Structure 1
């Protein structure tokens, strides 16, 4: 398309002098969160055994993402009122507190508590990044900036799982959490100055009085998290009480969720609501499988934590490759086609991972399949974000991106939580790991396939994205 920037010109725009410090700061912060995320997934089989808490395995992930959900909404509301500095500093501060609790946890229950606090703080990172991109980067270079954010996962993807596995195998998993604390301080010191933008803050504060108070969005977010926790608790329980917990969770969470997302999102209304819903469906399918890939390789196939980490590395690299490819293909393919192709990759990739439960299938097949799933997420993830940012009203970027991230995190929490409930039930019933893990992977495949079936309904929002 005429006027579309070349890859080199767009990249130069991302690193232009007026944006260089901000670009570096955002990439540094995302790198920190990425390292933690991949490291925890790698060491969890060992942590669960040492703390005798495999029945809470899924909750370690779900608690993080339920806390993340609340943090996203809080950070988004604060961002709409002016500076991004306050939510950024508060978020990383709570992230550090969670790391300390995790590293010193005497039991799995305390670890779950620390992860929830850590998640609350981490919720500020994607919200601040997306709002900063919406305010400070021109339309033409946003796809490249999103691809750059995906690239920030490369070094953690290469080093994080391997380093975490080595530390856990030869020292203690506790150092994986505590060793990240100095990096949090560095990220704070280097990123905060770049986030200051007095001109943007002044214009946004002029509209702040028209926005609803923070508590009106934060209370529903807490209700959504509480409702999701009750539903997940009901799935774990195995008595009549579980029915009441599940119904109570739905009654608390669903009405609140409707307040936090665009009208029609939960029924997949055509256009932007479907695009936002697809983010949650995609993360349900992908991360619901990722959480149990290391457990499959370690507990079923006898691999070490270091070897299991290599599978996560494969997906990190292919996700990044997919993200850069989508930035190049966006002018010719458009968002809808990229999202559709990405969900095909996720569906086929998770199906391939499930085959590793059979001892006759080489572990390398699972690694390759997980790489395909990561490539699919790389193709689909950024186009969804770009669509939401372009459609957000000026001064309401925080609310729009927080709705998208809310679905993102809720999908991850429910995907990992439901899988964790299946694992807990399988252990309680003395079922072979291959059997209950097969059920968990099947649910992830079904979620990804459901997302693929929804893609025809996103056409209106996707066509709102011109070639960039």
Structure 2
């Protein structure tokens, strides 16, 4: 998780510069969207692979693939190669995230899961402190390619060691033990029949739909609108096959938990995408400031996650979800205020930090609830569903906000009004999540 966080946080601030050097600024939404779309596919494949053979194999594969993606992206000669590298990176990241959650679900007892998840969040602290600012300086003083190649050189040896450990027989045997049960406990009831594994075509269709939608929102003409429409149709038709039944009506238990994950993730990801864009295009902020904003958000997320895992571990999880959603609503309000010329230039940057505080309470609590609601031996399915709806939420919320933003610009509105409309739209999922949190309650 430490290696994943270092690569993820260091690479993101360099992508706008890379897109500019590769003459692909117009396709920048596709570069960002490829990562999200592939994460969706990687989460589905990793979750079902973990249920069939244990989490060690998909985790090892994702770790190795993460190094390859850095080399592919760093050697990019076109925006399409950079997009391909980001796609592979998303595939690896989705597999790693799901299999880590699955391993925690199998290896830790119920009362320690929140602490283990908080530890995973804490692994982002050092990368968040050094990754974005250092990457910004390297990009400004040298080249963005040095960031990718440097990360590959830094992580290849630890990645090989991790793969070797995960392939060891002792770790493989330990990872097969269900849910961290102690030998003294009575045996669990027989496992229910596993639902059929979704076809690869279904996961691929959803992933392609997400990528198509992200490409569609990068422009405002007939061709882009067609891609956006096709992408959203594919996601609507096929996504329900990857998610728990009853998700669209927020049924009690796992369906509501999974739906809430998509809402919160969509709000945070949209703020993370548009706040830096606002600072660069409307406020003239330097790249180093953008990196520091990402650093502050990552630290705030980790600190909030630590608080919920240590100091608030006895609170009902659904109440922490309500608190996180309300904090996100405050972040949205701050972002809207930051679009007005009367506010300081970097007011909007604080919205990223506030939203990260909300996500630090929101995301781990939903993960704990999803593991509590998952059937015995099906933690991989629950983690995969959470990863899928997280990526779908990012795509859908960002897509709708982008469409509103472009519509405002097309109608002659100012940049401040367009950004304000895109941010203001995010209040709806925040309020809805706070209202629906009780449906995710664990009995």
Show CA shifts across 1:68-91 (max 9, x none): 110111011110012323212222
Q: Report matched runs for 1:335-374 at 5 Å.
A: 335-374=317-356
User: Mean Cα displacement is larger for which, 426-435 or 229-238?
Assistant: 426-435
- Decide which of 370, 373, 378 is 1:388's aligned counterpart: 370
Partner of residue 89 from structure 2, selected from 111, 114, 118: 118
Mapped partners of 2:131, 2:272: distance in 1 = 15
Partner residue of 1:33?
Answer: 4
Contact 1:55–1:427, Cα closer than 8 Å, also in 2? no
The 3 A distance-change label for structure 1 pair 383 and 300 is same
Q: Distance in 2 between matches of 1:54 and 1:423?
A: 17
- Find the partner of 1:148 among 111, 119, 125: 119
Matched residue, 1:187 = 159
CA spacing shift, 1:108–1:423, aligned 2, 3 Å: farther
Give 1:381-420 correspondences, 5 Å limit: 381-417=363-399
Is 2:281 the counterpart of 1:290?
A: no
Preserved CA contact (<8 Å) 1:71 1:123:
yes
Q: Which moved more, 1:217-226 or 1:162-171?
A: 217-226
Return 174-183 or 129-138, whichever deviates more.
174-183
Aligned length: 429
Question: 2:186 — aligned with what?
Answer: none
Distance change in 2, residues 1:140/1:406 (3 Å): same
Q: Normalization by structure 2: what TM-score?
A: 0.87
Moved more, 92-101 or 192-201: 192-201
Structure 2 CA distance, aligned partners of 1:287 and 1:68? 14
Residue 58 (structure 2) pairs with residue 100 (structure 1): no
Asked if the contact 1:294/1:305 (under 8 Å) is kept, the reply is no
> Cα RMSD (Å) of the superposition?
2.9
2:293–2:349 Cα contact (<8 Å) kept: yes
Query: Structure 1 length as normaliser, TM-score?
Result: 0.83
Equivalent-residue separation in structure 2 for 1:221 and 1:78 (angstroms): 13
**Deviation digits for residues 247-288 of structure 1 (CA, Å, limit 9, x no counterpart):** 443443223211111111123223321221111111111111
> Structure 2: how far apart are the matches of 1:136 and 1:190?
18
What residue in structure 2 maps to residue 79 of structure 1?
50
8 Å Cα contact 1:314-1:367 kept in structure 2: no
> Is 1:452 matched with 2:434?
no
Q: In 2, are the aligned partners of 1:151 and 1:320 still within 8 Å (CA)?
A: yes
1:213 CA drift (Å): 6.2
SS in 2 for 1:361: coil
| d(CA) in 2 for partners of 1:208, 1:99 | 40
Structure 1: give runs of 5+ residues left out of the alignment.
1-29
Which digits, 9 at most, give the CA deviation of each residue in 1:363-417, with x for residues without a partner?
4533433221111110111000000111212221111110011111222233445
Match of 2:14 in 1: 43
Q: CA deviation at 1:142?
A: 1.0
Alignment CA distance shift 1:139-1:332 (3 Å): closer
Q: Which sits farther off after the overlay, 422-431 or 130-139?
A: 422-431
Report how far residue 433 of structure 1 moved: 4.6
1:226 alignment partner in structure 2:
208
**Equivalent residue, structure 1, for 2:252:** 270
Q: Which one is further off, 67-76 or 217-226? A: 217-226
CA pair 429-93 structure 1, distance change in 2 beyond 3 A: farther
- Aligned partners of 1:420 and 1:48: how far apart in 2? 19
Q: Distance in 2 between matches of 1:108 and 1:186?
A: 29
Shift in alpha-carbon separation, 1:344–1:458, aligned structure 2, 3 A = closer
In structure 2, the gaps of 5 or more residues are 180-189
Counterpart among 370, 375, 378 of residue 360 in structure 2: 378
Counterpart for residue 9 of structure 1: none
Quick check: 1:227–1:251 contact (8 Å CA) kept in 2? yes
Asked if the contact 2:46/2:95 (under 8 Å) is kept, the reply is yes
Query: Against the structure 1 CA distance between its residues 33 and 455, is the aligned structure 2 distance closer, same or farther, given a 3 Å change threshold?
Result: same
The answer (yes or no) to whether the contact 1:39–1:161 under 8 Å persists in 2 is yes
Pair 185,413 (structure 1): closer, same or farther in 2 beyond 3 Å? farther
Give the Å deviation of 1:121.
1.4
Paired with 1:39 and 1:323, the residues of 2 have a C-alpha distance of 21
> Are 1:58 and 2:5 counterparts?
no
Equivalent residue, structure 2, for 1:201: 176
2:100 maps to which of 129, 133, 138 = 129
Kept in 2: contact 1:265–1:274 (CA 8 A): yes
2:247 aligns to what SS in structure 1? coil
Question: Contact 1:63 / 1:116 at 8 angstroms: preserved in 2?
Answer: yes
- Name the residue aligned to 1:257: 239
